[in-house]
Structures are given as structure tokens and as C-alpha cells.
Amino acid sequence: MLNGRTRTTAALAALAVTGAITLSISGASSPAQAEPDIDTVRAKVDRLFHESEQAAERYNDAELELAELNDDLTSLEADQSRQGDALAGVRSDVRDSLIQQYQSGSLGPAGELLSSDSQGFLDELSTMSTVEGLQDSLLADYGAELEAYDIRKDQTEKRRDGIAQLKTTLAEEKKTADAKLAEAKDLLSRLEAAQRAEILSRNAGRPIDPTSIPASGRAAAAIEYALAQVGDAYVWGATGPNAFDCSGLTMIAYAQAGVRLPHSSRAQYGTGTRVAKTDLQPGDLVFYYSPISHVGIYLGNGLIVHAANPGAGVKVSDLDEMPYAGAVRPG
């Protein structure tokens, strides 16, 4: 699995490269301008969908990292609590030592020398000649731990705030991509009105009997589930039961086999064992585009099942229908 720093770098780099969605189809309906042919508009729809999906997957990556950073902060707070308990014990030991010295006549009223504030307590220790024997261990150990904790907490909070802001930016990017995709789809619908039923029927996928696929164990369970969803809708961020996005389908399919996968195609590529294209077996996860932003499950015979796009939903496709990036074997 990619670590948080790698995912942040990847997300920021993707933003710098992608920027605003550059493909524009405005003005296509102008009376003085001939409308583009169907194949050209289809290509535009495909490109705009890919940009939309990239934005969605970058958002998924940021959400995963934000959850990790929140867990880090919870762990840091637990560390701080343990340090506080340790300091309370030290303060008690030092107070007992000072009381003994006071009772022996070598020190003034001990109760007036100890601050209830942690930093004040350490400052007092640094100036009290009567506790010189404790200074090195207390100031070196507790002081260093306290300083390290403050640095880690500050850095983690800054990273968390940065990722939270990145999530907002990515959500806006996704919104822009979706708007342009909707515009392109409207134009395609107008040009293809007579062909719409045929296209949707073809995109619904080819029915395949899962028992005909040479797979067993976890791979067979994942394939059976994924094929049972053919015809379901594609919805960004969905994980079933009646709609999925690409990484949502693969995540839930493999959950049926007891394999946990993150809800991100890029993160899923970091799980399992890498597999060469020539060594693909049914059940392997196959990934597409650069950077990776789409995933499906290999069925054998050059076919995959995947949550394709909002127009096609979950369907069976050729392995090379999209730009191939790699594969992993989960588990």
C-alpha cells in the first residue's frame, strides 16, 4: 500500500499536470458551425470520462491519507497521555525527596518549590542544586520526548490540514470534470438519438457463466460476485449493492473472498503480487492509464469485468479496451 507521503506527492503532482480540464466542446451547436461527427464526440466523451475518473481516484487517495493522519494524531495523543503519567510519577518522587531534605533541615519548605505546570517544573529542576542527581535523566529523557512529541504533532497537523485542503480542491476538480463530461454526453445523445438503445445494450456486457472460468478459491469467489453485478450502474464512490465505481467493485468482490482492498485503484496496485501481462490468471486485478485510475478483474481469454463508466455501468470488456498499465494478484 502506498504510504501517506507518497500519495500526497502523487496527488499534488497529478494536480499540477492536470490543472483545469482542457478539453472544450463549447460552441458545437452554433448554427454557423458544422457539428462534429459521432466518432469524434465519442472520443471526447471517453477522454472527459477518463479525466473525471482520475479526479475521483485522486480524491479517494486523499481521503485514505486523511484517515491515516487522523489515526496518527490519535496515537500521538495517547503518547502524550503516557508521558504525562510518567511526569506525574517523577514529580511525586522528587516531592518526596525534597520533603525528606526539608525534614532533615537541609532545604526550605518543599511544597513551595514545585510548580504544577510541566514546563515550570522542569525549569525549577534545572536551577535546584539539591536535585542535581536527577537533572541529567529528567531533562534528557522527558524534555527530549516532549520536544519530539511537539514536533511530530505539529508536522502531522500541518499534513492533515494540507490534505483536508487538497480534498476540497479535488472535489472541485471532480465537479468541473463532471460538468464537462455531462456537456459532452448531452451532445453525444443528440447525435446518437437513433442509436442509443443499441449502444446501451452493447455496453451492458456479455453474459458469462462464472463456472466456465478456470478459477478457484478467492479468485473464483471474486469473479462470481463481479459477474453477478454486470448491468449494475456506475456511480462515483459507490460500493454496492446496486452501483459501483471501478475500485469499489473490485474491493467488494474481493471482500467476498475475505481479502481486504482499499477503495482506490492506485492504492490497490500497491497490494498483492505484481504479475506480468503474459502471466495473467483469472482473478488478477488489471490496471489502466498513467497515472493509474481504473481497475478491473481479469476473466481469462482476454476479457475483464469492470465498472466501466456512467454510460455502460458494470460490464465485460476486452483486456486491451483501455491503455494497459499493469496487474497484481491479490491475497
306 is catalytic: yes
Of 4-13, 44-53, 108-117, 200-209, give the range with the top mean pLDDT: 44-53
Report the CATH number at residue 252: 3.90.1720.10
Whether residue 255 is contained in a domain is answered as: yes
Same domain, 29 and 141: yes
50 is catalytic: no
Q: What is the pLDDT of residues 42-77, one digit of tens each?
A: 888 888 888 888 888 888 888 888 888 877 777 777
Spot the catalytic one: 246, 286, 303, 305: 246
82 is catalytic: no
Same domain, 294 and 234: yes
Please tell me the predicted confidence (pLDDT) of residue 34.
63
Same domain, 19 and 164: yes
For the chain, give the mean pLDDT: 75
Whether residue 200 is contained in a domain is answered as: no
Give the start-end residues of each E strand in 107-261: 233-234, 243-244
Same domain, 223 and 320: yes
Looking at 163, 191, 219, the residue that finishes a domain is: 191
Same domain, 273 and 228: yes
Looking at 169, 191, 213, the residue that finishes a domain is: 191
Mode of pairing for the β-strands spanning 285-288 and 294-300? antiparallel
Whether residue 162 is contained in a domain is answered as: yes
Cα 116-121-127 angle, rounded to 5 deg: 145
Distance, CA of 222 to CA of 283 (rounded, Å): 7
Distance, CA of 133 to CA of 137 (rounded, Å): 8
Same domain, 150 and 66: yes
Residue 257: phi, psi to the nearest 5?
Answer: -100, 10
pLDDT at 313 over 50: yes
Whether residue 196 is contained in a domain is answered as: no
Same domain, 210 and 83: no
Distance, CA of 205 to CA of 234 (rounded, Å): 13
Same domain, 39 and 185: yes
Spot the catalytic one: 306, 309, 328, 330: 306
Looking at 162, 191, 220, the residue that finishes a domain is: 191
Same domain, 157 and 27: yes
Spot the catalytic one: 294, 295, 300, 313: 294
Higher pLDDT pick, 273 / 196: 273
Same domain, 259 and 125: no
Residue with cell 497515472: 291
Q: Confidence band (pLDDT; 50, 70, 90) for 322? A: very high
Q: What is the pTM of this model?
A: 0.53
Please tell me the predicted confidence (pLDDT) of residue 31.
44
Whether residue 180 is contained in a domain is answered as: yes
Q: Determine the average pLDDT of the residues in 204-228.
A: 84
pLDDT at 148 over 60: yes
Whether residue 129 is contained in a domain is answered as: yes
Q: What is the number of structural domains in the chain? A: 2
Whether residue 199 is contained in a domain is answered as: no
Q: Which residues contact 279 (CB under 8 A, 6 or more apart)?
A: none
Same domain, 165 and 73: yes
Domain that holds residue 71: 4-191
Point out which residues pair with 114 in neighbouring strands.
none
